[in-house]
Amino acid sequence: MCHNGIVYARKVKGRELTFQVSGKLWLHSLVMRDLETGTLWSHILGEAMEGPLKGTKLEVIPSVMTDWKSWKAKHPDTTVTTLRRSANRFVRSIYTRHASRFVLGLSIGEASRAWPLNRLQKKSLVHDTFGNIPLVVFFDVPTGTARAFDRRVAGKTLSFTRKGEHLIDDQTKTKWDRLTGKGLHGPLAGKQLQSLPAIISFKDPWKNFHPESTYYR
pLDDT digits (tens, 9 = 90+) for 136-163: 999 988 888 899 999 999 999 999 999 9
pLDDT score recorded for residue 86: 55
Q: Which fold has domain 68-215?
A: Rieske Iron-sulfur Protein (2.102.10)
Whole-prediction pTM value?
Answer: 0.84
Portion of the chain with pLDDT greater than 90, in percent: 62
Domain edges within the chain: 2-61, 68-215
Query: Three-state SS string across the chain, please?
Result: CEECCEEECCEECCEECCEEEEEEEECCEEEEEECCCCCEEECCCCEEEECCCCCCECCEECCCCCCHHHHHHHCCCCCCCCCCCCCCCCCHHHHHHCHHHEEEEEEECCEEEEEEHHHHHCCCCEEEEECCEEEEEEEECCCCEEEEEECEECCEECCEEEECCEEEECCCCCEEECCCCEEEECCCCCCECEECCCEEEEHHHHHHHCCCCEECC
Using 50, 70 and 90 to split pLDDT, how confident is the model at 28? confident
pLDDT mean across residues, the chain? 89
pLDDT in tens, 34-81: 999 999 999 889 999 999 999 999 998 888 888 888 888 888 998 887
**Could you read off the pLDDT of 100-138 as tens digits, one per residue?**
999 999 998 889 999 999 999 998 899 999 989 999 999
